[in-house]
Structure 1
């Protein structure tokens, strides 16, 4: 069903683009060229204006229909109150494991800083590869 609506929508878009390009504007557009037309300029303007309006309504209707059809597959979700299954709270009788006291991020950074302070102060020349 959605594919059919998409095809209809695309056909409306192509015809709407063509209709807008055929309309006469200040610069002439694609509708320019002598008085050898099948209709008078006033009749052509009325026809193109009405056709554009009808196609615009069809474009908006199919756009809304496609949006509504896409929303049917969405499932409502909540960001509050849903914990991932691996991070559930421990049961009442179980005590949580304490985090390690050594080997944390701050200790690692402190060790890296101490190693940099012990490095020689003379910069090394770049080596070619």
Structure 2
């Protein structure tokens, strides 16, 4: 149903564009020609203006209606969502462990793991070599 409505909507859009382009410009030369009144003498002067104005109004109303119908259909097809069902952690509930990425960890994960280690788990700092200058200590 939605596909049919989209096709009808596109046909209305193309028709509306065509009708608007056929209308005579007030300030200059439109597609209808300059001052002769129109498309090969089919309708001249006032009759053409009334017919094109009426067609534009009808097509604009149809465009508005199909746009509203498509918006309503799109909204109804979406499942209702609640913030409460978003999966946010509940205070006081145990946190579930995050999924571990496969392969090597990235730098940020490695730094977080190193920061979370206790002093017993941290690797021992290697002693500076005898020939290397010691790092300056700040007071």
TM-score range, shorter chain: 0.5 to 0.7
Q: Which has the higher contact order (CA 8 A, sep 6+)?
A: 1
Aligned to 1:20: 20
Return 5+ residue gaps in structure 1 as ranges: 91-101, 106-117, 119-129
Aligned to 1:109: none
Aligned-residue Cα RMSD (Å) equals 3.0
User: How much has 1:44 moved relative to structure 2?
Assistant: 0.1
Distance 1:20 1:76, change over 3 A: same
User: How much has 1:89 moved relative to structure 2?
Assistant: 1.2
Distance 1:88 1:51, change over 3 A: farther
Aligned to 1:5: 5
* SS state at 1:29 partner: coil
The reply to whether residue 31 of structure 1 matches residue 35 of structure 2 is: no
Q: How many residues align?
A: 96
The reply to whether residue 77 of structure 1 matches residue 81 of structure 2 is: yes
Distance 2:32 2:63 in 1: 23
Question: TM-score, normalised on structure 1?
Answer: 0.63
The reply to whether residue 43 of structure 1 matches residue 47 of structure 2 is: yes
The structure with the greater share of residues assigned to helix is 1
Distance 1:80 1:44, change over 3 A: same
Distance 1:6 1:81, change over 3 A: closer
User: How much has 1:82 moved relative to structure 2?
Assistant: 4.4
User: How much has 1:60 moved relative to structure 2?
Assistant: 0.4
Distance 2:85 2:13 in 1: 44
Distance 1:104 1:14, change over 3 A: same
Return 5+ residue gaps in structure 2 as ranges: 95-112, 117-134
